[in-house]
Amino acid sequence: MTQDRIPLAALEHGTPFADRHVGPRPAELARILDVIGVGSLEELAQHAVPSSIHERDLVLDLPAPATETEALAELRELASQNRPMTQMIGLGYYDTVTPGVILRNVLESPAWYTAYTPYQPEISQGRLEALLNFQTMVGDLTGLPVANASMLDESTAAAEAMTLVRRGGRSKSNKFVVDADTLPQTLAVIETRAEPLGIEIVVADLSQGIEGLGLGGDFFGVLLSYPGASGVVRDQKDLITEIHDAGAQAVVVADLLSLTLLRAPGEIGADVVVGTTQRFGVPIGFGGPHAGYMAVRSGLERQLPGRLVGVSVDSDGSLAYRLALQTREQHIRREKATSNICTAQVLLAVIASMYAVYHLLPRS
């Protein structure tokens, strides 16, 4: 009596690579299609895709799908083309050391790197606590009472700060002044965001104050760099006072690590402080990504974009964490949200917060 044997080639690859990474399983797919009332995914597409854009005779000339081993080999070949070099350009990116315990237990852990927005607090207390720690770290260093968790990057955070002070202020001007000693990528994103909003960007040397710019009081906000892109560190207190006297608000782009030594922007009157947390143990990653941050003074909480973690109590009266003031956000207010950029770089914000904990001085 003969018995059918599985070919050795089939055993070599086991379950196809795609089947292990792309759900649902066949039985689950059949159940979904049955509930919807169609016989196949192709039939579903015919119902869902408008006929005006449906290419019925399209034939894709694609190679056979790669196995897991082949995919890894292709990725390693691509990665081998990278040339890690000493970073000499600067521009807000710096070499840093990621502590091994953070690398192993956060960056390389699927429990952290696959997590999504913690809308279900009952299953997200660990992530929410880590993000609250991020907010606390940013608030402590910037000297402002409320920080979010987190932003896409420094440049985007600066552009968001511009729109924040515009909607949160009383000035009727459409001019926003930017310190000439600002990183070029930050200035570029600000200019791109300003154009469709009808905001006029005025780039100026602010080392001598704002009185000599000839603007009078015709501006709604000013962005200062602290330190500047050139590395210069200035005491911005008097300049911020001038800005407030003109009826405008002050945004400070600050190197967060430098604030462990420099005076906190909130202590000298900054209304909004933004920047990046890349220097807090986040590798350069060939140009990104890195978590941005934003902190605001009292009175601007409801203008704050991004997610905000708060402390509450659960049904048993125990301390618990949850997302707060969600009516500001896109998933509720849609196009009327404070921001429509939802990417928060949460994994990298967690790494930055853990980096700060890792470097805390031991208590005596």
Task: Name the residue ranges covered by the structural domains of the chain.
Answer: 13-54, 101-358
Sheet harboring 249-254: ordered strands across? Answer: 146-147, 292-296, 272-276, 249-254, 221-226, 175-179, 200-204
Q: What is the CATH number of domain 101-358?
A: 3.40.640.10
The pLDDT score that the predictor gives to residue 330 is 64
Count of CB atoms within 10 A of residue 28's CB?
10
CA distance 268 to 150: 23
Summary mean pLDDT of the chain: 89
* Phi, psi at 21, each rounded to 5°: -120, -15
Q: What is the DSSP letter of 151?
A: B
Residue range 50-59, pLDDT digits in tens: 988 888 788 8
- Burial code (b: 16+ CB inside 10 Å, e: under 16) for 77-103 equals eeeeeeeeeeeeeeebbeeeebeeebe
The pLDDT score that the predictor gives to residue 256 is 96
Read off the pTM: 0.81
H-helix or E-strand containing 292? strand 292-296
Torsion angle of alpha carbons 220, 226, 232, 238, nearest 10°? 60
The pLDDT score that the predictor gives to residue 32 is 94
The pLDDT score that the predictor gives to residue 221 is 97
The pLDDT score that the predictor gives to residue 333 is 63
Walk along the chain (364 residues) in steps of 10 and give the mean pLDDT of each run: 65 72 85 95 90 84 86 94 78 91 95 82 90 96 96 94 94 96 97 96 93 89 96 95 96 97 97 97 84 96 90 92 77 66 82 94 62
Strands 221-226 and 292-296: unpaired
With DSSP H G I counted as helix, E B as strand and the rest as coil, what are the percentages for the chain, rounded to 5? Answer: 40, 10, 45
The pLDDT score that the predictor gives to residue 326 is 74
CA distance 138 to 154: 14
Is 215 in a helix, a strand, or coil? coil
The pLDDT score that the predictor gives to residue 279 is 95
Which residue, among 200, 203, 173, has the nearest Cα to 187 in the 3D structure?
Answer: 203
Q: What is the DSSP letter of 302?
A: G
- Burial code (b: 16+ CB inside 10 Å, e: under 16) for 155-172 equals bbbbbbbbbbbbebbebe
